[in-house]
Structure 1
Amino acid sequence: MRLLFIHAHPVPERFNTALCSTAVSTARDKGHEVRLIDRCAESFNPAMSTEQRRIYNDGEPPPSDLQPHIEALQWAVARIFVYQTWWCSQPAILKGWLDRVWRPGITFTLSAPTQPMRPALTKVRQIGVITALGLPWWLWTFLFGAPGRTIILRGLRFCTQPRTRTFWLGLHDMDTQTDTARRRYLDRVRAWIARSPL
């Protein structure tokens, strides 16, 4: 299966890089075709300019710097996001990537002002998230409503076929976890990717 991993963390020596490396290597070992987009390593510009926003809904060709990202997005049948959850959501560089790359005509269609949005990524079979969070699960879920999870597993899933599967793997209380707990989480990520029906 064609898997696209999207990684977003600005510090390469942090635990999040180990999460991404574990997931990618496990997928390759299982024989999947894998591509990796590393938002921070590529110095991706997450900001949408004034002019880009003005023509966003006009069907104009996307900016040239987005073409490799759009091609990878359309190539893959599974997308797995690996990032550190900050302020209950995605890092700014990843949110900016969603703003700029998940655009009309690429991930959804608007045929007329009076018609509702329709999905365009109809070949997608799975969307998933591998993340770590500073908050305990109950606080993140019950007080804040898990906004980062909603953005990916509901918002982005809308752009795919109705049968698209989703998954969410999260290590909560990240700042107080022991090395043993972090190794267990890496094992969990490895096992999930290895047995997941991708």
Structure 2
Amino acid sequence: MKALVIYCHPREGSYNAAIRDLVIERLQAKGVAYRLRDLYGEGFDPTLSAHDHEIYETVPENRARVDRDCTDLEWCDALIFVYPTWWYGMPAMLKGWLDRVMVPGVSFIMPETDGGDIKPGLTHIKKLGVFTTCGASRWLTFFVGAPGKRTLMRGVRLLLAKRAKTKFAAHFLMDSSTEKSRAAHLNVVKTRLDQLINS
């Protein structure tokens, strides 16, 4: 197993950083090769420029400015996201990573005929883990439609291997969380990540 961990939070010392550290610890304990991308820490530019948009469908020029990220996607067979849910979705930084890195020729194949649909390009990725925190409650998040979860667990999932294994965990009501609830959630993340690794 080769895991690409995409971590997205602006503040070191956050609870999301604790989740990230746990993920890395479990991968190391299981002897899993991994690469960590800290989007804020590395100063990733999430802006899709006019030029980026102009060459978006031009392969391989469309990956030139994000080649490291595209190479990471081609290297891994497991993809893990750690991020906070803001306004029911993912941070703009993470959405920008998807916009810029999930390009044709890497993540999907453009339609070959008029009226055709895209084809998945990440079929070598067989595992997907999504670990997030939400200020809102579970019922309110799902009432709104959980767009962040849906983007990753449905949208990105469709680009992966047909029978890719998935695991999801969210700490809801994060703004009123307690030390006990946060510790309990870390145990949930550990259990689900171990299940993903062992699947």
TM-score category of the 2 structures, normalised to the smaller one: over 0.9
Q: TM-score, normalised by structure 2?
A: 0.94
Corresponding residue for residue 92 of structure 1:
92
1:49 Cα offset (Å): 0.6
Contact 2:10–2:40 (CA under 8 A) maintained in structure 1: yes
**SS in structure 2 opposite 1:62?**
helix
C-alpha deviations, 1:90-131, integer Å up to 9, x for none?
101100000000010000001535231001111111112000
**SS in structure 2 opposite 1:59?**
coil
Q: Quick check: 172-181 or 56-65, which moved more?
A: 56-65
Shift in alpha-carbon separation, 1:132–1:41, aligned structure 2, 3 A: same
Equivalent pairs: percent with the same residue? 33
User: What residue ranges of structure 1 are gaps of 5+ in the alignment?
Assistant: none
1:80 Cα offset (Å): 0.6
C-alpha deviations, 1:40-75, integer Å up to 9, x for none?
000000001111101111224135441111111111
Residues 1:134 and 2:135 aligned together = yes
Q: TM-score, normalised by structure 1?
A: 0.95
Corresponding residue for residue 169 of structure 1:
169
Q: Write out aligned runs for 1:8-27 (5 A).
A: 8-27=8-27
Contact 2:167–2:192 (CA under 8 A) maintained in structure 1: no
1:124 and 1:148 mapped to 2: Cα distance?
20
Residues 1:48 and 2:31 aligned together = no
Q: Write out aligned runs for 1:143-162 (5 A).
A: 143-162=143-162
Q: How many residues align?
A: 197
2:61 and 2:55 mapped to 1: Cα distance?
9
1:190 and 1:28 mapped to 2: Cα distance?
13
**SS in structure 2 opposite 1:79?**
strand
2:129 and 2:26 mapped to 1: Cα distance?
15
**SS in structure 1 opposite 2:191?**
helix
**SS in structure 2 opposite 1:70?**
helix
What letter matches 2:152 in structure 1? I
Corresponding residue for residue 180 of structure 2:
180
User: What residue ranges of structure 2 are gaps of 5+ in the alignment?
Assistant: none
What letter matches 1:129 in structure 2? V
Residues 1:59 and 2:46 aligned together = no
Corresponding residue for residue 74 of structure 1:
74
**SS in structure 2 opposite 1:43?**
coil
What letter matches 2:11 in structure 1? V
Corresponding residue for residue 37 of structure 1:
37
